[in-house]
């Protein structure tokens, strides 16, 4: 049985922002709450969404949001975050860069840094940095996730544990108001935790859409981060950063319409 046009649109909306709410969908489509709940139940029965209180979210699992869809979300904000983060990394540094479209935005701005050693479990980051002869690119071994080119699994965790680097650039799929960092894939979380343990300075990069999303697997907490770069942070997160002495950089007043970033998002 095929999906209705409305169900296809609901699924597309969920994949863009991570979740949908019954009240919002009722207003958008001018139908009853019962009709929307039936639509969400159909999508849930097919394994495409998971029901939550008052709505539904993209099913937790390997693919999370579709990779190309994630690249389109907040592209200019990610470009600004990427530029500001790259400015923090001095030449002749060693660094980890993990999986994520925002961490990839950082990689776009690292090409002019001399003498970097970049260790990554992100095939897309390795591809971006490979042409720069003055950057040594080291890529982790493990299982390649077909949805986004991320390398996950115990082999990647063991590989990361062999290094002690100056900086780690990490992302997260969701950030709770109390500062908890969350993701969808337990295997990816294990790699990120190893990256945090083996870096002298940890930089979290995330656009503000992550403050309204949810994910099931705990990476850690903002208190484990040295610097947080985002476009705009809600008051609760500003408070958490202040409480735990986390340097907070907000780029919201300095958007970047960088053609390299935006072109790669299309």
- Distances, alpha carbon 81 to alpha carbons 63, 78, 107, in Å: 24, 5, 11
Q: Are residues 40 and 74 in the same domain?
A: no
Half-sphere exposure of 206 (CA within 13 A, CB side): 27
Residues near 214 by Cβ (< 8 Å), separated by ≥ 6? 18, 19, 52, 57, 174, 176, 182
Q: Are residues 87 and 196 in the same domain?
A: yes
Is 163 within the bounds of a domain?
yes
Q: What's the confidence (pLDDT) of residue 63?
A: 45
Q: What's the confidence (pLDDT) of residue 265?
A: 34
Of 20, 40, 58, which residue constitutes the final position of a domain? 58
Q: Which CATH number do you get for residue 160?
A: 3.40.50.1360
Q: Are residues 89 and 46 in the same domain?
A: no
Secondary element (H or E) of residue 69: helix 67-72
Q: Are residues 190 and 100 in the same domain?
A: yes
Of 18, 40, 58, which residue constitutes the final position of a domain? 58
Structural contact between residues 175 and 181, judged by C-beta atoms closer than 8 angstroms: yes
Q: Are residues 168 and 207 in the same domain?
A: yes
Is 123 within the bounds of a domain?
yes
Q: What is the mean pLDDT of each run of 10 residues along the chain (266 residues)?
A: 79 77 94 94 84 80 53 79 97 95 94 94 94 94 86 94 98 95 91 97 94 89 98 96 97 56 34
Q: Are residues 19 and 151 in the same domain?
A: no
Q: How far is CA 134 from the centre of its chain?
A: 27
**CA quadruple 111, 264, 261, 246: dihedral sign:** negative
Is 131 within the bounds of a domain?
yes
Number of H helices, E strands in the chain: 11, 15
Q: Are residues 21 and 102 in the same domain?
A: no
Q: What's the confidence (pLDDT) of residue 44?
A: 86
Is 63 within the bounds of a domain?
no
Q: Are residues 138 and 184 in the same domain?
A: yes
- Bridge partners for 227 per DSSP: 203, 247
Q: Are residues 54 and 72 in the same domain?
A: no
Q: Are residues 40 and 109 in the same domain?
A: no
- Distance of alpha carbon 30 from alpha carbon 15, whole angstroms: 21
Does the model's pTM come out above 0.85? Answer: no
Half-sphere exposure of 242 (CA within 13 A, CB side): 7
How many domains does one find in the chain? 2
Q: What's the confidence (pLDDT) of residue 215?
A: 86
Q: Which domain holds residue 145?
A: 68-264
For residue range 54-109, list pLDDT tens digits in order. 999 876 443 445 665 566 567 889 999 999 999 999 999 999 999 988 999 999 99
Structural contact between residues 165 and 198, judged by C-beta atoms closer than 8 angstroms: yes
Q: Which CATH number do you get for residue 13?
A: 1.10.10
Q: Are residues 135 and 51 in the same domain?
A: no
Q: Are residues 105 and 225 in the same domain?
A: yes
Is 34 within the bounds of a domain?
yes
Of 21, 37, 58, which residue constitutes the final position of a domain? 58
């Amino acid at each position: 049985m095929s999906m209705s046009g409305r169900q296809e649109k609901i699924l597309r909306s969920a994949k863009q922002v991570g979740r949908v709410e019954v009240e919002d969908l009722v207003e958008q489509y001018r139908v009853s709450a019962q009709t929307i709940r039936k639509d969400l139940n159909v999508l849930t029965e097919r394994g495409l969404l998971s029901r939550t209180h008052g709505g539904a979210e993209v099913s937790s699992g390997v693919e999370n949001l579709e990779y190309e869809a994630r690249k389109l979300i907040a592209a200019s904000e990610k470009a600004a975050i990427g530029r500001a983060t790259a400015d923090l990394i001095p030449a002749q540094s060693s660094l980890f860069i993990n999986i994520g479209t925002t961490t990839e935005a950082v990689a776009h701005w690292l090409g002019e840094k001399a003498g970097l050693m970049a260790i990554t479990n992100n095939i897309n980051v390795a591809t971006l940095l490979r042409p720069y002869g003055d950057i040594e690119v080291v890529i982790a071994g493990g299982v390649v996730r077909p949805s986004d080119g991320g390398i996950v699994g115990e082999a990647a965790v063991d590989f990361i544990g062999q290094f002690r680097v100056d900086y780690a650039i990490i992302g997260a799929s969701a950030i709770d108001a109390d500062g908890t960092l969350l993701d969808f894939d337990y295997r990816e979380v294990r790699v990120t935790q190893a990256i945090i343990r083996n870096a002298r300075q940890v930089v979290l990069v995330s656009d503000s859409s992550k403050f309204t999303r949810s994910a099931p697997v705990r990476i850690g907490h903002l208190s484990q981060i040295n610097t947080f770069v985002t476009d705009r942070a809600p008051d609760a997160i500003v408070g958490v950063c202040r409480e735990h002495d986390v340097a907070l950089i907000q780029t919201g007043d300095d958007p970047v319409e960088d053609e390299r970033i935006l072109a790669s998002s299309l």
